[in-house]
Chains A and B, each alone.
Chain A
Amino acid sequence: SQQGEEDPQALSIQEGENATMNCSYKTSINNLQWYRQNSGRGLVHLILIRSNEREKHSGRLRVTLDTSKKSSSLLITASRAADTASYFCAKVTSYDKVIFGPGTSLSVIP
């Protein structure tokens, strides 16, 4: 699909563990963004990584980008129950088109 894939679709971990989510894409991108969505709420921006960047950090979040593999990963370290949410990557193509993936549903068990 044009959206590419995110995996896993669902992830369940214990509090304190790390969570890794992956995002792949098919067309070239200008930047890639990660968002979080709590149940029944709007999306919240987490991190933006540009196509010429390989890694970015924000607090307990670490995003990597591998343009040769057309993939990105979001790592959440030392997870908390409050991290329970759906996580989406949004690809911004070279034509400035914004394409969201289907998301990963993360459950952090206290």
Chain B
Amino acid sequence: EAGVVQSPRYKIIEKKQPVAFWCNPISGHNTLYWYRQNLGQGPELLIRYENEEAVDDSQLPKDRFSAERLKGVDSTLKIQPAELGDSAVYLCASSRPGGDQPYEQYFGPGTRLTVT
């Protein structure tokens, strides 16, 4: 099966500019996650979707970050305006339905964002 697809793979922007990341999860996976990973650190969850619903966005900086998952498939994460501290790798992951606990996640390759 095809894996989680993310684009772009790399993005360099100047501070105060907007930026958007796109994620296409594995077919049939109804749970989608966005993470931010700083160098040498573990991934930090930004938002988790169950279908179209954002069920955990407690770590999403809502003043500048927004996300959407229309039709419960693809998702977009946006930052506007970007700050120097937003430089990181943004990872998307998905997991399949079943059970009552978050299941193992399949990660995309990530988007490396550099804000100058």
Chain A residues at the B interface, C-beta cutoff of 8 Å? 3, 30-31, 33, 35, 41-45, 48, 50, 88, 90, 92, 96-103
Contact = CB atoms under 8 A, between A and B. Distances in A.
B48 to A, nearest CB: 7
B42 A3 contact: yes
Contacts of B48: 98
Interface stretch (B14-22, B64-72, B73-81, B107-115): B107-115
A99 B45 contact: yes
8 contacts: A30-B102, A41-B110, A42-B109, A44-B107, A98-B105, A100-B44, A102-B40, A103-B41
Nearest to A47: B104
Number of chain B interface residues as a range: 20 to 34
Contact of A97 (B4, B35, B56, B91): B56
A42 B44 contact: no
A45 B104 contact: yes
A2 B9 CA distance: 30
A44 B4 CA distance: 12
A45 B55 CA distance: 22
Interface string B48-61: 10000001100000
Nearest to A34: B104
A3 B55 CA distance: 20
B41 A43 contact: no
Contacts of B35: 100
